[in-house]
């Protein structure tokens, strides 16, 4: 199951690097599967930042932390619970931001949805590792 965590966290790194690039360059992201104005609305919303920091930067840090902490677990240097805590926090933030998209912005961003699905799968994988 740790292989799945590595793959999912790697997908998350790629996703958040893409979003971070667009946060830095202030260019719109490709909006696949949703109207283009929806992604732009999400990208430019006040909720796209937490404490003034773009959510993509925070997500990138979380995914990198998951990779490092899981590697330390696999290397038998650290227990799995620190990785599980980061995954749980990412899952909760993703669910919150999905709710913001659904009920406040009434618009979805492709890349945010991908990140939410990614964290749901990471959370399920973490539960499996913790209960094995």
- Classified by CATH at the fold level, domain 2-131 comes out as de novo design (two linked rop proteins) (1.20.1440)
Report the pLDDT value the prediction gives residue 33, as an integer from 0 to 100.
97
Report the pLDDT value the prediction gives residue 6, as an integer from 0 to 100.
98
Report the pLDDT value the prediction gives residue 71, as an integer from 0 to 100.
98
Q: What is the DSSP code (8-state) at residue 103? A: I
In sequence order, the 6+-apart residues with CB closer than 8 A to the CB of 116 are 94, 95, 97, 98
Report the pLDDT value the prediction gives residue 30, as an integer from 0 to 100.
96
Report the pLDDT value the prediction gives residue 12, as an integer from 0 to 100.
98
Max CA separation in the chain (angstroms): 47
Spans of the chain below 70 pLDDT: none
Dihedral in degrees, nearest 10, Cα atoms 83, 21, 27, 19: -20
Beta bridge partners of 54: 49
Rounded distance between C-alpha atoms, residue 122 and residue 49, angstroms: 23
Rounded distance between C-alpha atoms, residue 82 and residue 117, angstroms: 21
Rounded distance between C-alpha atoms, residue 101 and residue 119, angstroms: 16
Q: What global pTM score does this model have?
A: 0.94
Report the pLDDT value the prediction gives residue 27, as an integer from 0 to 100.
96
Report the pLDDT value the prediction gives residue 53, as an integer from 0 to 100.
97
Rounded distance between C-alpha atoms, residue 8 and residue 14, angstroms: 10
């Amino acid at each position: 199951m740790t292989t799945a965590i590595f793959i999912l966290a790697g997908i998350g790194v790629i996703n958040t690097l893409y979003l971070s690039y667009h946060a830095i360059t202030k260019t719109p992201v490709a909006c696949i599967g949703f109207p283009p104005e929806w992604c732009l609305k999400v990208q430019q919303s006040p909720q796209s930042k937490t404490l003034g920091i773009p959510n993509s930067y925070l997500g990138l840090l979380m995914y990198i932390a998951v990779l490092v902490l899981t590697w330390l677990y696999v290397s038998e240097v650290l227990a799995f619970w620190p990785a599980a805590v980061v995954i749980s926090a990412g899952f909760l933030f993703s669910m919150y931001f999905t709710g913001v998209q659904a009920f406040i912005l009434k618009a979805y961003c492709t890349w945010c949805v991908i990140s939410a699905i990614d964290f749901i799968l990471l959370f399920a994988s973490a539960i499996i590792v913790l209960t094995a």
